[in-house]
Amino acid sequence: MLTYEPGGTLAHRLDPRAKLAFQVAFAIAVFASTSLLWLGATAALAVGCLLAARLSPLRALRAYWPVLLVLSLGPLLGGLALGPPWFRVEPALSSLQRVARLVPLLLVSAAFVHSTPVRDTRAAIQRTVPGRFGQLLGVGVGLTFRFVPVLRADVTRIREAIRARGGGRRSFRDRVQRLGTLSVVRAFARADRLSLALRARCFAYNPTLPDLRFSAVDYLVLALSAALAVGPLLLL
């Protein structure tokens, strides 16, 4: 699973608010058209974001393989028919073309996660969204970024422990049941420890956040974001 990794790349040096604005604008641009040319252009821009963060596209795709697996079901289900010929190619290709638009969006989000500290992400959200809602949103995003990798590591360790104890000889249903039960128990235990740790550290909704400042490159990114957001709307 992708997490933040320190570095000195262009993406690491950008202000997190500029990167959030670019993600929103990029999402608007991605859904502006379903043409193959537009899809290729957005994919090339997404790969450029990965290069700016020095993140391998293959590594980013591997990190999102569960999401890609679910997305791949769309074209298969879209092509199914209740009668002969049982599978229609044209609806499947149309569904594939629409689903493929989400892949560049996932790549851009991977570059953001890889190049942005959780603390900076929280600061960007709370300073962009005013009031208590922004504080709650910042806290939720921060806890999610920190908590989900821990839960995934727990699931991996539980699966390895089941396999080491001969679980591979059990039925698939039994393995899934054991993995699911133990994962839920471990998740609740983690949640209790997290709650206790937050109280012990006098958790605050509005702590002292890191100082964020725009540089000249950030303004260029904001200009590109405005072009991505407004350009497709003008074309429509």
Q: What is the pTM of this model?
A: 0.75
DSSP state of 153: H
Give the domain range for residue 141: 130-200
Asked if residue 25 belongs to a domain, the reply is yes
Residues 196 and 224 in one domain: no
Same domain, yes or no, for 161 and 98?
Answer: no
155 within domain boundaries: yes
CA–CA distance, 35 with 46 (Å, rounded to integer): 17
Instruction: Determine the Cα–Cα distance for residues 159 and 154; give it in Å rounded to an integer.
Output: 9
Q: Is residue 222 in some structural domain?
A: yes
User: Would 4 be classed as within a structural domain?
Assistant: no
- What's the domain count of the chain? 2
Q: State the number of CA atoms in the 13 A half-sphere of 16 facing the CB.
A: 23
Any idea which residue has 């790969």 for tokens?
47
Residues 112 and 151 both lie in one domain: no
Q: What is the largest CA-CA distance in the chain?
A: 65
Assigned domain for 3 exists:
no
The count of other CB atoms within 10 Å of the CB of residue 18 is 21
Cα–Cα distance measured from residue 221 to residue 6, given in angstroms and rounded to the nearest whole number: 21
Phi, psi of 129 (to 5 degrees): -100, 115
Direct distance between the N- and C-terminal alpha carbons of the chain, in angstroms, rounded to an integer = 37
- Give helix 16-30 / helix 216-235 axis angle, nearest 10°: 20
Q: Indicate if 220 and 112 belong to the same structural domain.
A: yes
Same domain? 192 vs 148: yes
Q: Are residues 179 and 97 in the same domain?
A: no
In a domain, 99, yes or no: yes
| Residue 122 resides in a domain | no
pLDDT in tens, the chain (236 residues): 678 889 889 999 999 999 999 999 999 888 887 788 888 999 999 999 999 999 999 999 988 888 888 888 888 887 877 778 778 888 888 888 888 888 999 999 999 989 998 888 888 888 878 777 777 777 777 777 777 778 878 888 888 888 888 877 888 888 888 888 888 888 888 888 877 877 776 666 666 777 888 999 999 999 999 998 887 766 65
Per-residue tokens: 178? 């054991």
Q: Are residues 137 and 106 in the same domain?
A: no
Residues 28 and 141 in one domain: no
Query: Residue 161 falls within a domain, yes or no?
Result: yes
